[in-house]
A and B are shown apart, each in its own frame.
Chain A
Amino acid sequence: MRASAPLTESKAPSIPLLQRAFQNHSFVALLYILPSLILLVFVVGYPIFYTILLSFYSTPAISPDRYWVGLSNYTDLLRSRTFWEATKNTLYWTIPSTFGAFLLGVPAALALNQTLLGRSLLRSVFLIPWVISTVAAAYVWRWLYHSDFGLINGYLMAWGVSQRPLLFLDSTDLVIPSLVLVNVWKTFPFVMVMTLAGLQAVPSELLEAASIDGAGTVRRFFAVTLPYLRNVFLITFLLLFISNLEHFTIPWLMTGGGPARSSQIWVIDIYTTAFRGLAFGLASAYSTLVFGIVLLFAILYVRLLTRREGVEG
């Protein structure tokens, strides 16, 4: 009896309270967002926190213990020659990959934009490399590059371009350019689609006006079309640059970082440090460093987007 009295008492006001809670937008919104939020906290938030934390510890491979070492993982890393080699390789991989995709993707979009015949069919075909698994792409290209039985060396020798097979993936000079070509094959369709979308935003009246004023094709492109594409280009460039900076699969499956670490880029270095060397602490410091660099570009991307929003709104 005594127990039930306060219970009924509290139950009475709780119904309007609940109703009020459901009328409160913040509360309902929270309910709707909660599943996504939990997922993000568990899979994104906590790992970032944990990586940064772990980067201050030494984690010997043989024992489950870890020891606080302060910043020494960072100093070890920045003093090691391998880190700077990997940095050089990463830039050598990222920058040509990104520009290469633009070099093919933008002309593809401009050319497609003026053909009406079979445009959507062509667009689909161009997008296939982008849609298929990077794993399939890596295997196909490894086979194309094969020094003894590959298609490319086969033609080079049959046409007399080269006397002996080129070691696309086994020479320290050729390996990164060869990998970059695969990446360009895989990503130029992305630049193409984005540019095509950007081209739809160019007002045709402006182009007509420019043409009446006597501007030629090239002039019109630079004076009217390009300014409209500027934002699309910037955003696409950043997105692609970031994703190339943290790319793993193509070099991993085609060379494993070799020969002689000449295609060892950051992410591969981190992966091998962690899962081959079992140095989780050091690898975490490495990750945190790369994370910081990527974050700079990510912030730039978000600022670009919100600036656009500001202009439109």
Chain B
Amino acid sequence: MKLLSMRTSRRGSGLDTTIGWRILSWIVIALLLLFTVVPLAWMLSTSIKSQVAAMQQPPRWIPEVVTWDSYLKILDPRQEGGQRFLRYFWNSLVVSIATTLLSISVTIPAAYAFSRFRFHGRNALLLVILMRNMFPAVIFLIPLFLVMRTAGLVDRHASLIVTYMTFGLPLSIWLLKGYYDNIPRDLEEAAQVDGATQFGAFLRVTLPLSAPGIVAAAIYIFIQAWNEYLYALTFLNSDRRLTLPVGLQAYFSEFITDWPGLMASSFIMSIPVVMLFLILQRFFVQALTEGALKS
């Protein structure tokens, strides 16, 4: 199976005939790799420098003295700065995990219904859901802010969770619907003959089979929630409620910009999403491409 897919993808390119093309593609890869990696590497390099060393010109990639001060400063819970940073981190974690769990539990039944039932307005509803993320965030910003203010949710994490839940909806519904479409109804019916209820059959047969889709959708939702900036900027205002993306700004604009500290924070902020992505990237890439291309 693996051999087969490698073969087809190799042939699939149709470009692998001459040495010249191979060299050219390695040049392209090398240049793009440089473009991709330099900013990331510079972030790391700066984060282990002292404030003075960071401002040295011409630039040095490896500082004469490596210092972990910036990391200690943001991660040490005994210091006031560390407490703040860890609180932002915790807030981000709470919001992202709550969003992911709630979003998935809302999506699964919806995707199942779209896959299994034919009902009035089904296609129209699917189209509307698909288009949800096409709309500019700003159009929702003003009314949602006013709604949240009326509901007393401004400056509460609930306002973000409710909003973020709708981000992943289109992709998750499309993705999971695709899975359910491919799971034969006979399987569920067989379980029902064996005495399971329809819901029991769904739980025991269909749900486990769609696990890869659920994982993919969950990563996607988590990453989106973790990285979101605009709504968090608008809905939250007290410092102890801020999530990381907005928190960083509040944290650093008070002083002269502490670049090593900012780079260390950016790095720590990126770790959860990059780790999730690297561990589960097979699912994630599939979610990304299928969500947009397949219908």
Contacts and interface: CB of A to CB of B under 8 A. Distances in A.
Interface of A: 25-26, 28-33, 35-37, 39-40, 42-44, 46-48, 50-51, 54, 104, 107-108, 110-116, 120, 122-129, 131-137, 139-141, 143-144, 146, 148-149, 151, 154-155, 157-158, 185, 188-190, 193-194, 196-200, 202, 204, 207-208, 210-211, 217, 220-221, 224-225, 232, 235-236, 239, 242, 245-246, 248-249, 253, 267, 270-271, 274-275, 280, 283-284, 287-288, 290-291, 294-295, 297-298, 301-302, 305-306, 308-309
Contact of A280 (B21, B110, B142): B142
**B interface, over-half SS:** helix
A108 B229 CA distance: 29
B135 interface: yes
A171 B128 CA distance: 42
B241 to A, nearest CB: 17
Interface string B1-18: 000001011111111111
A249 B24 CA distance: 35
B236 interface: no
A137 B262 CA distance: 11
Nearest to B172: A36
Nearest to B252: A139
Contact of B229 (A48, A112, A134): A134
A29 B121 CA distance: 11
A143 B13 contact: no
Nearest to A248: B230
Given A107-B28, A294-B134, A302-B127, 7 more contacts: A40-B169, A51-B140, A123-B285, A131-B223, A132-B227, A287-B136, A295-B134
Interface stretch (B66-74, B182-190, B286-294): B286-294
B144 interface: yes
A56 to B, nearest CB: 14
B14 A249 contact: no
A246 B135 CA distance: 8
A297 B134 contact: yes
B137 A248 contact: yes
Interface residues of B, number: 103
B291 to A, nearest CB: 10
Given A134-B229, A185-B35, A185-B36, A139 B58 contact: no
Contacts, number: 329
A90 to B, nearest CB: 11
A38 B211 CA distance: 25
Contact of B173 (A36, A139, A190): A36
Given A135-B269, A204-B8, A26 B42 contact: no
Given A32-B110, A127-B277, A200-B9, A193 B139 contact: no
Contacts of A245: 136
B229 A113 contact: no
Contacts of A25: 117-119
A308 B290 CA distance: 13
B249 A185 contact: no
The listed residue with most B CB atoms (<10 A of its CB), out of A148, A151, A235, A306, is A151
B54 A149 contact: yes
A207 B14 contact: yes
Nearest to A45: B128
B44 to A, nearest CB: 10
A182 to B, nearest CB: 9
16 contacts: A26-B117, A44-B135, A50-B146, A113-B13, A131-B270, A132-B273, A139-B266, A146-B259, A149-B259, A154-B58, A189-B36, A194-B289, A194-B292, A217-B15, A246-B137, A298-B135
Given A194-B289, A239-B292, A115 B274 contact: no
A236 B134 contact: no
A140 B38 CA distance: 10
Nearest to A239: B292
Contacts of B152: none
A302 B274 contact: no
Interface in B105-154: 106-107, 109-110, 112-114, 117-120, 122, 125, 127-132, 134-144, 146-147
B142 A274 contact: yes
Contacts of A133: 226-227, 229, 244-245, 266, 269-270, 273
B12 A144 contact: no
Nearest to A292: B139
B33 interface: yes
Nearest to B43: A140
